[in-house]
Amino acid sequence: MELVAIIIALIVPIGVAVWTVRSSAKDTANQIAALEESTTKQIESIKELARLQMDASIKQVELEIEKNLFLAKQAQQEWKGIEEINNSGMAHMVEFKNLRMQQFREQKPERDYHLYSEFIKDLKVIKNGLEVSKKNLC
């Protein structure tokens, strides 16, 4: 009987130790899996943030391009208008040239209005694109 008690006394701690090791290994495996999943989610979030930052940078560049296209169109209008006056058949007549230059200057607000209207349309397109991107985030 004592022998049985000794064997049981030896087997029980060994059984508890085996159970503890296996349970601990499962817990550790679960913790590692959860950590890997969390890390994967964080990496995906960082990638999405990087994509959003690139989109924002692209939109800023598009805006800068539109602004410079506007200024280029404005300068081209001025240049062509003055060139047209200077190359006209009556450009040698100072009074005619001054009168045409005065008319050209007086028409500048109208020309600018049309350019600004085009620029506003382009900005609205960019704004709509940003609003769509914002809705896609939510």
How does the average pLDDT of the chain come out, rounded? 86
Percent of the chain with pLDDT over 90: 21
Q: How confident is the model over 12-24, as a mean pLDDT?
A: 80
Q: Does pLDDT of 122 surpass 90?
A: no
CA 124, CA 119: separation in Å to the nearest integer? Answer: 9
Orientation angle between helical segments 2-86 and 94-137, nearest 10 degrees: 170
- What are the residue ranges spanned by the domains of the chain? 2-137
Tokens of 1: 């009987």
State the DSSP H helix or E strand holding residue 1, giving kind and residue range, or none if neither: none
Which one, of 24, 56, 26, 31, lies nearest residue 137 by Cα? 56
pLDDT digits (tens, 9 = 90+) for 64-91: 888 898 899 999 999 999 888 888 888 6
pLDDT band of 25, cuts 50, 70, 90: confident
